[in-house]
Amino acid sequence: MKNIRNIVILGHLQSGKTTLAETLYAAATGNQKGSVDAGTSISDYTPEEKSRKSSVHSAILPLEYKGTKINLIDCPGSDDFITDTISAISVVKGAVLLLDASKGVEVGTVKHWNFLRKKNIPTIIYVNKMDKPDVHFDKLMDDIRTKLGKNAIPFCYPMGHNDGFDGFVNCVTLTARKYNGKECEDAEIYPDKRAAVLELHNQMVEAVAETSEELMEKFFMGEQLTREEIHDGLRKSVLASDLIPVLVGSAIKGIGIHTLLDMMIDYLPNPQDLNPIEGVDMNGNPVERKTLDDEPFSAFVFKTMVDPYFGTANVFKVNSGKIKVGDTVHVSKLDKDIQVSQLNVVTGAKMTSVGEIGRASCRERV
């Protein structure tokens, strides 16, 4: 499949990561939603997790939505299980960072945010538990901008009367969704929210205009940018981490779930959209390789093992192209050409000998 999103869900312990993963999964597959509290979660599936009512291992929930395959990785929030979280971050290209709206930015939020920034992973912030009483969104935004990133901007703005939360406005499309007690439906933007939402929309359009000279000129001439120009510009800015979208919702009630799925597809990277990887060819000349099957073969060796039966074995992740037994590859770190004598696909402890390996399989061994 061409459209793929590999996304990690992060956030402080108890911010609602597993509940969100379950709700996203149920929304995309139409299956019954599992519950952390009732011990019926698919993501918290081990007996230990069921009795703790909390995640211990990272779990992968693959789903398909609007023709895109989304591989969600739900991580434990606790520091006790941090290695699983760090290895999940090293294989994803996008992230959703959760906040508990009643608590704001917590220690775990900052910790996970720093991991993501270190790896330059485009991130959507989802402010969860907006259904709780006494939530002040504008204060939360100040907290996010001070402790996480100045460039965080609401792509969705909450609606509701008397501080209550019953829906949100999508500030990109200027459309609203309202919770009817069971699910979300299209709605009018509440009059008292229009000014704030329009201001946010204009800020986004200005940020988009700044991404190209042509758009800047259009913007200053007072011309409207098209929906497509706005979408493309926002995507570029989010992929470059110049803008951090903030969404709102409630994982438990199912508010803001389809919008989050849409925005994961719209604004988080497809592995093949990313910058090409740089390396050197067989003659030592610098080359670039895109993450595509029809590019020449390139891979990243992340582990070397010396096995009494196999001899030396390299475990690698394929970046582009394919490799066959008998091919010669250049190992740039050793500045050496090596002929591939054997290829195996590794699944846990199991190894299966194969003749050819491509990008679809992720851990292979020469």
Instruction: Find the binder of ligand GDP among 11, 104, 245, 321 (CB under 6 A).
Output: 11
DSSP states along 328-346: EEEETTTTEEEE---EEEE
**Token digits of residue 62:** 């693959």
CB 329, min distance to Mg ion, A: 41
Shortest distance, position 109 Cβ to ligand GDP, whole Å: 11
Q: Residue 162 Cβ, how far from ligand GDP at the closest point, in Å?
A: 18
Q: Which element (helix H / strand E) includes 298?
A: strand 298-307
Which residue lies nearer to Mg ion by CB, 6 or 18?
18
Pick what 68 binds: ligand GDP, Mg ion, none; C-beta below 5 to 8 Å, kind-dependent. Answer: none
Here the tokens at position 344 are 């195996």
Touching ligand GDP, residues 30-49 (CB under 6 A): 36-37
Identify what 128 binds: Mg ion, ligand GDP, none; CB under 5 to 8 Å per kind.
Answer: ligand GDP
Q: Which does 213 bind (CB under 5 to 8 A by kind): Mg ion, ligand GDP, none?
A: none
Residues within window 204-263 making contact with ligand GDP, judged by CB under 6 A: 250-252
**Which of ligand GDP, Mg ion, none binds 192 (CB below 5-8 Å, type-dependent)?**
none
Should residue 109 be labelled a site residue for Mg ion when binding is judged by CB under 5 A?
no
129 binds, among Mg ion, ligand GDP, none (CB under 5 to 8 A by kind): ligand GDP
Of residues 5, 8, 14, 234, which one binds ligand GDP by CB under 6 A?
A: 14
Residue 55 CB, nearest distance to Mg ion (Å)? 3
Distances (CA, A) of 317 to 7, 155, 238, 265: 18, 35, 26, 24
Task: Give the per-residue contact string, 25-64, with Mg ion (x = CB under 5 A; - = no).
Answer: ------------------------------x---------
Which letter does DSSP use for residue 272 in this model?
Answer: G
Residues 6+ apart with CB under 8 A from 269: 5, 93, 94, 122, 239
Tell me: does residue 13 bind ligand GDP (CB under 6 A): yes
- Report the side by side order of strands in the sheet with 4-11: 59-65, 68-74, 4-11, 94-100, 123-128, 244-248, 152-154
Picking from 191, 145, 140, 147, the residue whose alpha carbon sits closest to that of residue 169 is: 191
- Reference 189, options 173, 212, 207, 203; nearest CA is 173
Among 52, 132, 218, 236, binds ligand GDP (CB under 6 A): 132
- Which lies closer to ligand GDP via its Cβ, residue 77 or residue 149? 77
User: Which element (helix H / strand E) includes 317?
Assistant: strand 311-320
Instruction: For residue 241, count CB atoms less than 10 angstroms from its CB and return exposed for 0-12, middle for 13-18, buried for 19 or more.
Output: middle
**What is the widest separation between alpha-carbon atoms in the chain?**
73
* Cβ neighbours around 222 below 10 Å, total: 6
- In the complex, least distance from residue 277 CB atom to Mg ion, rounded to whole angstroms: 33
Does the footprint of Mg ion cover residue 18 (CB under 5 A)?
yes
Q: Using CB under 6 A as the criterion, which residues of the chain lie in contact with ligand GDP when the complex forms? A: 11, 13-19, 36-37, 54-55, 77, 128-129, 131-132, 250-252
Residues that bind Mg ion (CB under 5 A): 17-18, 55
